[in-house]
Structure formats: C-alpha cells, structure tokens
Amino acid sequence: MWQCSLGLLLLLFLLTGQVALGARRGRWRRELAPGLHLSGIRDADGQYCKKQGMCCTGRIDDCSLPYLGTTCYCDSFCNRNVSDCCPDFWDTCLGVPPPFPPIQGCTHGDRIYPVFGTYWDNCNRCTCQEKRQWECDKEPCLVDPDMINAINQGDYGWQAGNHSAFWGMTLDEGIRYRLGTIRPSSSVMNMNEIYTVLAPGEVLPTAFEASEKWPNLIHEPLDQGNCAGSWAFSTAAVASDRVSIHSMGHMTPLLSPQNLLSCDTLHQQGCRGGHLDGAWWFLRRRGVVSDHCYPFSGREQAEAGPAPPCMMHSRAMGRGKRQATRRCPNSHTDANDIYQVTPAYRLGSDEKEIMKELMENGPVQALMEVHEDFFLYKGGIYSHTPLSMARPEQYRRHGTHSVKITGWGEETLPDGRTLKYWTAANSWGPSWGERGHFRILRGSNECDIESFVLGVWGRVGMEDMGHR
Ligand SMILES: *[C@@H]1O[C@H](CO)[C@@H](O)[C@H](O)[C@H]1NC(C)=O
Ligand SMILES: *[C@@H]1O[C@H](CO)[C@@H](O)[C@H](O)[C@H]1NC(C)=O
C-alpha cells in the first residue's frame, strides 16, 4: 500500500499542478460534497490515483485530482458512506473492485467519453447520452464532404475543396456571416443606366485581365472574416482600383472597408449587411481613408455584431474636396488623406457593355447571388450545380453578395465545349478559390452576376497628379 508524506504530496502538487485547489479551501466543502458515484462510476476506465502514483491514508484533502468538472480523492477518507473517491481508488489503492457499477460512456476514435461528454463533428455537436449512445445535431454544414466529392466527380467545369476557415461552420452561418449585401430596391435597381455603344465592327478581345493592363494598380482581395460586410469590401475594392487607374498611378490607396462599416451607418448595418448605393453615396460625399490608416477590425468581433464606433470624420476644404478631422485610429500610419469618387453609374446587363467598361475604365462591382456550393469553390469556371436539389430544403440556401469583376476569358473543356467566363475577386481571403479570385460563367447571368453592375470614377484633381 501507498503512504503519502505531506512532503511528497507537496512535490506532486508542484510537479503536476493538477491537484485541485478547491480541496484546500476548508473541510466543510468536502464534507458537504455529494457522493460522486450515485448513478455509477463515470469514466470507470480512467486513470487517476494510478497515474499520479497517489494513495493516502487517513484524511488528506490535498490527495485529490480534477474529475469531470469536480474533484475526486485518493485518500482512505473518501471511502466513507458518501463516497468522493476517484474512479480507480478501489482498484489502485485497496486492490478490490469498486462498490459502484461503472457507467462507461461512449467511444469515439480511441477515446471513451463520459456521459454528457461532447465532441464536434464538423459543424455539429455530438453528446454522449445516458443510454451510452451518441446523439449529434443535424445542421447542414458549410463544408459538406459529400458535396465536395459529388462536384469533383461530376462534370461541372469547376473543382471543390475544403476551405479550412469554413470548416465547423453551419451553412446558415455561412449565409449569415460571409456575405452581407442587401439586394437593392427596384428603384435603385433601375438607377440611371449608362449605355455603352460598341462601334460598328468593334471587336473585344477574347481575354482581358485588369492587372495586365494596369500592373501594380489592381489590389489583392481582402478577407471579410465573419463580418457580413461585402457591401463595404466590394465597394472599397472597386474604388481602390479605380482611384489608382484614374490618377494614373499617382495615388494607389487600398481603401478602408472599416471606414465604411463603422462610419457609413445611415440605413446601413455594418457587419450585418449594407446597401451598395449607400456605400457609393458615402464615398462620394464623405470619402474614406486608406486601409493602412483605418484597418479592418471586424474579424476580431465574435460573429456579426454591430461595427465598432466611427473613428474617422471628414470636413469640406473647398473645391469639393475633404480632409480628415482625426488622426488614423492606429499608431503606425500618419497619412489620413481622404479619397472620394464621382457618382457611381449602372451598366447595362449586356456582357459586351460590361466588358467594354472594364477594359476602358477598370474593374466593376457586381451583385451576386451566392448558393451553398459556391463556398466550396477551389478553381475552374463556377456555375451553380443542381446537386442539392435532391436534398431536403435546408441544404439549399442562398444570399446576396457583391464582388469585383476584373476580367474575362474563355476555356475549352476536354469534351470540346468552350466556356466563357468572368474573373472576379472575392473577399474571403487569398487562400479561398484561385488565390482569392474565382471565375464564373459569362453571358448567361449566372447567379445574377450581370444584373446589377456598377462603375465609378475616382475623384482625381490636377493637384493629385502632381508630386506626392
Ligand atoms: C453514514 O454512515 C453513518 C454511520 O454508519 C450514518 O450514521 C450516517 O447517517 C450515514 N450518512 C449518510 C449520508 O448516509
Ligand atoms: C477540412 O479542413 C479542416 C481544417 O483544416 C480539417 O480539420 C478537416 O478535417 C478537413 N475535413 C476534410 C473532410 O477534409
């Protein structure tokens, strides 16, 4: 049998750090504690006294270990009529079988979980029931391995994968937290359309990419995280490129989505969604600073809450220009120049008009209806697959998003079909899709992407073109 000296106990305590502190608070707690094994021993195969080499005679309150959210003891005092012994006390310290029946819990992998123990299976929590059976939630997950396989085995023109930032989220959370553009009202949908007329015989190239025509002026995609603020991200992204292009590279700011999320609050809901026309109004009338000056903080918020308060304001300084009234809300940057644009204009939905605008003036903003399979996109030419049509309704979800179209092209598939596509930048970070970008079918209004397309001019004065 084991004998514990207090010195050895103290040493154990220091070495393992695992001895429950609760045991030191006084005897009353231990005396009042309920029996631990009233409905049987949970974690009956667990090693407690044995693993710690701990068996004590008499009453030694420090001869204890954490046990399923409470404390169990390896001293002989635990073996009174109200037992608070560790599960293996009788085997290890007395060499007899325990006087209580074991409750073994549930197994998963190579572990035994106690009753009410839990583990996560992707987005669903599984709980060990008292009947020793697992019971799991049955939410559709954002990353659905069956769907990934079906897409990759099918002939859809694109490949699917497990974007690790989405693993563990439900489909519903994906729709709620990763999009965030409010579909425009019909009056906005019909806003002044600009018709670009192609000259007779004018031929557009079969492929175009903004970053090739304007090297170093096209900005890489950002990551909106769990902030449903694509309205601010796509607006800032298009404005950044267009200010850079229209100033002929004299200014190349990456504009701040956070400035919009926190300060453009009239009829807007920050990380809970917003309107594109409101975002452009704000960029025109108030302007925003660069992302370096006013960096994104939405990701740190737990899920889509209200945006943090506005930390930047601007005031008129003549000739329609504005200047910031505050320093940048971070200590690394002093440059708090305000960037503005002219009124946004809507393009016709004809692909040729969008192409011509893109080629002449730079990337455009497009509304897009995102369906469940889009989150899985890893590469290729996306079009919405019918795969979830065969499944219960909660697997078919969609929400409104907005993105930046940057170019177009064509690709001939092994079966001889030629697919026309747009290239576009998303706001789900550089590891999603094709380095943060995607290609999507062109000319058939796939996912509504040709239905509401906007362009804008950077407001660039002569002085901006001078030395900076
Ligand atoms: C514990 O045992 C003692 C003596 O055997 C008895 O008097 C006491 O009521 C018991 N306590 C409980 C809670 O069963
Ligand atoms: C998906 O990625 C996550 C995170 O990297 C990983 O834990 C998970 O096992 C992956 N799932 C599948 C089915 O590959």
Q: What is the pLDDT of residues 211-233, one digit of tens each?
A: 999 999 999 999 999 999 999 99
What are the backbone angles phi and psi of residue 147, rounded to the nearest 5°? -65, -40
26/94: higher pLDDT: 94
Compute CA 133 distance to the chain's CA centroid, rounded to the nearest angstrom.
Answer: 32
The predicted structure's pLDDT at residue 306: 61
Model confidence at 409, in pLDDT bands (50, 70, 90)?
very high
- Please give the C-alpha separations between residue 104 and each of 38, 46, 107, 117, in angstroms, as whole numbers: 14, 10, 9, 11
Classify burial at 348, counting beta carbons within 10 Å of its beta carbon; exposed 0-12, middle 13-18, buried 19 or more: middle
Q: What is the spatial distance between Cα 41 and Cα 266, in angstroms, rounded to a whole number?
A: 59
Of the listed ligands, the closest to the CA of 35 is 1
Query: Under a CB-based contact definition with an 8 Å cutoff, are residues 364 and 454 in contact?
Result: yes
Confidence of residue 109 (pLDDT cuts 50, 70, 90): confident
Catalytic entry in 37, 219, 426, 437? 426
Please give the pLDDT value at position 7: 45
User: Which residues touch 280 (CB under 8 Å, ≥6 apart)?
Assistant: 235, 341, 343, 344, 454, 456
Ligand 2 centre to CA of 164 (Å) is 6
Mutate to test the pocket of ligand 2, among 167, 169, 376, 431 (most ligand atoms within 8 A of CB): 167
Residue 38's pLDDT band (boundaries 50, 70, 90)?
confident
Least confident of 17-26, 299-308, 458-467: 17-26
Kindly indicate the confidence band of residue 35, based on its pLDDT and cuts at 50, 70 and 90.
Answer: confident
More confident residue, 300 or 417: 417
Task: Please enumerate in sequence order all residues whose Cβ is within 8 A of that of 424, keeping only pairs 6 or more positions apart, or say none.
Answer: 366, 403, 404, 405, 406, 437, 438, 439, 440, 449
CA distance 63 to 59: 8
Tell me the average pLDDT across 238-254: 96
pLDDT top residue among 51 and 24 = 51
- Mean pLDDT throughout 51-61? 93
What's residue 462's pLDDT?
67
307 pLDDT band, cuts 50/70/90, is low
Tell me if residue 371 is catalytic: no
pTM: 0.78
What's the N-to-C CA distance of the chain in angstroms?
83
pLDDT in tens, 262-303: 999 999 999 999 999 999 999 999 999 999 999 998 754 455
The pLDDT of 309-320, averaged and rounded, is 88
Q: Is the CB of 81 under 6 A from ligand 1?
A: yes
What local confidence, expressed as pLDDT, does residue 139 receive?
96
- Taking only the tens place, the pLDDT of each residue in 322-364 is 999 999 998 888 899 999 999 899 998 899 999 999 999 999 9
Band of residue 137 on the pLDDT scale cut at 50, 70, 90: very high
User: Cα(33) to centroid of ligand 1, in Å?
Assistant: 14
3 has pLDDT over 70: no
20: confidence class by pLDDT, cuts 50, 70, 90: very low
Q: Is 162 in the pocket of ligand 2 (CB under 6 A)?
A: yes
Of residues 261 and 467, more confidently modeled: 261
Which residue, by CA, sits nearest to atom 2 of ligand 2? Answer: 164
Q: Which residue has the tokens 């040493």?
A: 11
Taking 50 as the threshold, does the pLDDT of residue 58 lie above it?
A: yes
Is pLDDT of 6 > 60?
A: no
How far apart, in whole angstroms, are the C-alpha atoms of residue 346 and residue 453?
Answer: 6
- Per-residue pLDDT at 414: 83
Which of 164, 169, 376, 431 to probe ligand 2 with, by most ligand atoms within 8 A of CB? 164
Taking the CA atoms of the chain, what radius of gyration do you get in angstroms? 31
Q: Which CATH superfamily is domain 148-465 in?
A: Cysteine proteinases (3.90.70.10)
What pLDDT is recorded for position 192?
67
Lowest mean pLDDT among 278-282, 297-301, 365-369, 464-468: 464-468
Q: Using the mean position of ligand 2's atoms as its centre, give its distance from the Cα of residue 433 in Å.
A: 16
What confidence score (pLDDT) does residue 461 get? Answer: 72
Q: Whose CA is nearest to atom 3 of ligand 1?
A: 81
Q: 375: CA distance to ligand 2 center in Å?
A: 14
| Pocket lining: 186 vs ligand 1, CB cutoff 6 Å | no
> What's the whole-number average pLDDT of the chain?
89
CA dihedral 167, 170, 171, 177 (to 10 degrees): -90
Contacts of 30 (CB under 8 A, 6+ apart): 23, 61, 73, 84
For ligand 1, say whether the CB of 207 is within 6 Å of any of its atoms.
no
Instruction: Find the mean pLDDT for residues 181-202.
Output: 80
| Domain locations along the chain | 6-103, 106-136, 148-465
Report which of 39, 84, 79 is spatially closest to residue 64, judged by C-alpha positions: 84
Residue 460 pLDDT: 77
Q: Which residue has the higher pLDDT, 88 or 31?
A: 88
- For the cut 90, the answer to whether the pLDDT of residue 429 exceeds it is yes
- Check whether 119 has a pLDDT greater than 90: yes
Catalytic hit among 163, 246, 275, 401: 401
21 lines ligand 1 (CB under 6 A): no
31-35 contacts at long range (C-beta below 8 A, 24 or more positions apart):
33/70, 33/71, 33/82, 33/84, 34/82, 35/82, 35/83, 35/84
Placement of tokens 């930032």 in the chain: 165
Q: Among 31, 80, 81, which is best to mutate for testing ligand 1, by the most ligand atoms less than 8 A from CB?
A: 81
State in Å: Cα 55 to ligand 1 middle: 24
Q: Pick the range with the lowest mean pLDDT from 100-109, 384-393, 425-434.
A: 100-109
**pLDDT (0 to 100) of residue 467:** 43
Ligand 1 centre to CA of 236 (Å) is 73
426 carries an active-site annotation = yes
Predicted pLDDT of residue 17: 41
pLDDT tens digits, residue range 64-75?
Answer: 999 988 899 999
**Atom 4 (ligand 2) nearest CA:** 164
Task: Give the bridge partners for 314, in sequence order.
Answer: 324
